[in-house]
Structure 1
Amino acid sequence: MSLVAPRNANDVLAFRRPPGDPGFGVYIHWPFCAAKCPYCDFNSHVRRQPVDQARYVAAFRRELKLAAERSRGETVTSIFFGGGTPSLMAPETVGALMDAVAENWTVAPDAEVTLEANPSSVEASRFRGYRAAGVNRVSLGVQALNDPDLRRLGRLHDVAAALEAIRLAREIFPRLSFDLIYARPRQTVEAWEAELNQAIDLAADHLSLYQLTIEMGTPFFDLHKAGKLKVPDGELSAELYEATQQITAARGLPAYEISNHAVPGAESRHNLTYWRYGLYAGVGPGAHGRLNGRDGTRHAIANEPLPETWLQMVEDWDGGAITDEPLTLEEQADELLLMGLRLTEGIDLARWRKLAGRDIDRASEADLATHGMIERLGPDRIRATPAGMMVLDAVVADLA
């Protein structure tokens, strides 16, 4: 089965949506991991017994059908298998889920199909099966390129396994991205610059570079609160961020979003759908979506996060949503602002005004511009500057 099998990377990079069209995405959440990383607050779960993949496929199929009934007429431009660790799925499971998407929607012939993977040798050996199933982009959770930090981050792979997974991914898939975490304990700017340059040497067309954040409810939070885990302070974090922007731009992978860098034309189309505030279906335990209700109003949908509870809900009632709430136009305007200002392309103010029913607060805009936090890109588009990106929540609050 090969739902999407572009001939080469150039075929993929030639894809273009009409101006202003964010596309329509399908997000499939596989919530299981081999181990829980101590910094992770994602909806991921470790199970000691094998997961009944056939049973979960049947549940996903039910939820996909339900989502499709709310999005008739949409053409799927991207599919994203996230988690958790989707590379724990058998290739046959991925193929069955892609078949289910194709049964329920029209799928663009050059749709982007991404699968997140951990770079252990066992999972990397499945790459050819995922490619045969139609995956044309893989996102590897590398996180660090030195073994001591990988151990501290609780990763199950070492650098040798990461390098082999990157090599295989570049050989097998038209497109590759991998993640790194920086602002790690005891990390210096010089060490990060060397590691980042090594990553760019290895990268194909995309890197996701995240600052380590201490999230409540994680082991890292408890260690940090007890004073046993120290991370870079605000000044050093800013230096690390600035070095990241400078090096990636100089090496041909400029930022197109706060934490994402790509060769121009190789941006993640699926994530651009989120950031450009498009509609998308989210299926699986803990998945979120934005779909229209029967009255045409955009709804915020969130699924039950516990896998077994979600599974039972879908089997009993076809869907696993625990919230399905209409968003007011003001709420939609706020979400558009929050998501769109993450992008270096910024937001279309005409679209914002249509939702908000008013103009951006001119005094706040002028103040933020004076302090170098935002800038105009023509008469009806604004974006956050690199300085504004570092305090984006405050910028959004002032503008909204």
Structure 2
Amino acid sequence: MGGRGQEQAKQSHLSKPGPDSPGFGIYLHWPFCKAKCPYCDFNSHVRHREVDQDRFASAMIKELRHYAGRQKAAGTVKPVTSVFFGGGTPSLMKPSTVAGLIDEIAALWAMAPDAEISLEANPTSVEADHFKGYALAGVNRVSLGVQSLHDDQLKFLGRMHTASEAKAAIELAQRHFERMSFDLIYARPHQTPDEWAAELGEAVALAADHLSLYQLTIEQDTPFFALYRNSKFDLPDEDTSVALYEMTHEALEAHGLPAYEISNHARPGFESRHNLTYWRYGDYVGVGAGAHGRLDLGNGRIATSNERHPESWLEKVEEIGSGATDEDNLTLEEQGDEFLIMGLRVREGINLKRYESLSGHALSHQRIDELIGQGLLERNGPERIRATRAGFLLLNTLVAELASASS
């Protein structure tokens, strides 16, 4: 099980491409969940009957072959540096399903010898039992959706696991995988900085090398949106939210887990390689219901977007080989804008020459100097700029200022 993928992916230590060599990733979306969390607006679906995993996996393989064939025809094939199983809840997949998909990827593309293969998992006892099988299949990194280390908050967030199950899953993941990460949600109703500091300290003690920490946001078309609109709960005010954010960054930096992206913290060398491919504006294939992709097919960069409804996606792939509903040729301006939006999220920032190469024009050095003077940008190399921590808090404004003042 997972022989080819395991042999090509397993390494004692994983390196990562540099800032200007973002790598090439494969994203596989498993859209099913046991229950829909009230804050979640991801493309996830609950099915009250057993999902035909073999049929869905066969369709994902067919879609992988579709994109591999197009890359080969265009002469733009690259080694795979990362694979990411996202969702939904990929840990509902059988290990044999995961193994088959990894092996197919390894058959279609050359796998980098240090390829990162990640899988998102929920820390329920049933899914944690799959960890050994996933490791044998070739998965070498797992990301756990813990969200809180307190039972009352897990209940509020609609999670199906307990705090003790989460801690047990973290321990189990550390035994089976070379690398692991877990997510927490903060800035919850009535949460104080002292309460978050205590929970954060507990998280740091549990974490091996990576933490993803997200402030609770209220998204439309979620149960939380209606509850919040009807004043069923309140969120911390802006000053408290900023204080929580600042405290988070300072505390984790002091513990050797600095922020390498707005919401992601890692020990140096243990950043998420797959997510860095996104933020460094690299190419990636997206397969599965609702998946997105960015690809160079020889005549410019395309953006792909798949049918979101799982069964509709399945039928579309079985009929024509791809579940894409949209495939757009990105203009130079769009590529430049995307590069700014993604690249300024990360601490390493962006290469100004690469922006110019992608967009066809340079950013305004005068506007850059003005934003540096305002404490929102800083230089971190002869041709590099990055957002400061203050700039992270105003990132959308920062991107808009730079894009509108390009020369």
| TM-score after normalising by structure 1 | 0.97
Spell out the pairing of 1:98-177 with structure 2 (5 A cutoff). 98-177=102-181
Residue 97 of structure 2 corresponds to which residue in structure 1? 93
Does the CA-based 8 Å contact 1:4-1:110 persist in structure 2?
A: no
Residue 195 of structure 1 corresponds to which residue in structure 2? 199
Relative to structure 2, which stretch is displaced further, 348-357 or 283-292? 348-357
Residue 12 of structure 1 corresponds to which residue in structure 2? 13
How far residue 227 of structure 1 moved from its aligned partner, in angstroms, is 1.1
How far residue 19 of structure 1 moved from its aligned partner, in angstroms, is 6.1
Residue 214 of structure 2 corresponds to which residue in structure 1? 210
Q: Is 1:398 aligned to residue 401 of structure 2?
A: yes
For residues 395 and 19 of structure 1, the distance between their equivalents in structure 2, rounded to whole angstroms, comes to: 20
Match 1:376 to one of 375, 379, 391: 379
Does the CA-based 8 Å contact 2:9-2:112 persist in structure 1?
A: no
The one-letter code sitting in structure 1 at the alignment partner of 2:274 is H
Does the CA-based 8 Å contact 1:145-1:195 persist in structure 2?
A: yes
Residue 179 of structure 1 corresponds to which residue in structure 2? 183
SS at match of 1:102: helix
Write the deviation string for residues 287-340 of structure 1: whole angstroms up to 9, x where unpaired: 0000123x4210010000000000000011110000000001111011000000
Match 2:291 to one of 263, 287, 290: 287
Relative to structure 2, which stretch is displaced further, 33-42 or 365-374? 365-374
Write the deviation string for residues 250-285 of structure 1: whole angstroms up to 9, x where unpaired: 000000000000000000000000000000000000
For residues 292 and 52 of structure 2, the distance between their equivalents in structure 1, rounded to whole angstroms, comes to: 23
Please identify runs of 4+ aligned residues in structure 1 that moved more than 6 A.
Answer: 6-9
Does the CA-based 8 Å contact 2:9-2:117 persist in structure 1?
A: no
How far residue 6 of structure 1 moved from its aligned partner, in angstroms, is 8.5
Write the deviation string for residues 329-361 of structure 1: whole angstroms up to 9, x where unpaired: 111011000000001000000000112222212
Does the CA-based 8 Å contact 2:10-2:140 persist in structure 1?
A: no
The one-letter code sitting in structure 1 at the alignment partner of 2:96 is E
How far residue 368 of structure 1 moved from its aligned partner, in angstroms, is 1.7
SS at match of 1:29: strand
Change (3 A) 1:238 1:231: same
Residue 239 of structure 2 corresponds to which residue in structure 1? 235
Aligned length: 397
Residue 27 of structure 1 corresponds to which residue in structure 2? 27
Match 2:336 to one of 333, 337, 341: 333
For residues 234 and 32 of structure 1, the distance between their equivalents in structure 2, rounded to whole angstroms, comes to: 34
How far residue 7 of structure 1 moved from its aligned partner, in angstroms, is 10
How far residue 102 of structure 1 moved from its aligned partner, in angstroms, is 1.1
SS at match of 1:109: strand
Does the CA-based 8 Å contact 2:24-2:80 persist in structure 1?
A: yes
How far residue 371 of structure 1 moved from its aligned partner, in angstroms, is 1.6
For residues 173 and 362 of structure 1, the distance between their equivalents in structure 2, rounded to whole angstroms, comes to: 45
For residues 138 and 197 of structure 1, the distance between their equivalents in structure 2, rounded to whole angstroms, comes to: 21
For residues 342 and 122 of structure 2, the distance between their equivalents in structure 1, rounded to whole angstroms, comes to: 27
SS at match of 1:236: helix
How far residue 16 of structure 1 moved from its aligned partner, in angstroms, is 4.0
SS at match of 2:6: coil
How far residue 5 of structure 1 moved from its aligned partner, in angstroms, is 5.4
Relative to structure 2, which stretch is displaced further, 146-155 or 353-362? 353-362
Give structure 2 stretches of 5+ with no counterpart.
none
Write the deviation string for residues 188-239 of structure 1: whole angstroms up to 9, x where unpaired: 0011011011101000100000111100111111111111121111111100
Q: Is 1:311 aligned to residue 301 of structure 2?
A: no
The one-letter code sitting in structure 2 at the alignment partner of 1:214 is I
SS at match of 1:12: coil
The one-letter code sitting in structure 1 at the alignment partner of 2:255 is R
Does the CA-based 8 Å contact 1:131-1:172 persist in structure 2?
A: yes
Match 1:351 to one of 346, 350, 354: 354
Change (3 A) 1:45 1:16: closer
RMSD: 1.4
Change (3 A) 1:268 1:16: closer
For residues 166 and 75 of structure 1, the distance between their equivalents in structure 2, rounded to whole angstroms, comes to: 31
Does the CA-based 8 Å contact 2:9-2:111 persist in structure 1?
A: no
SS at match of 1:190: helix
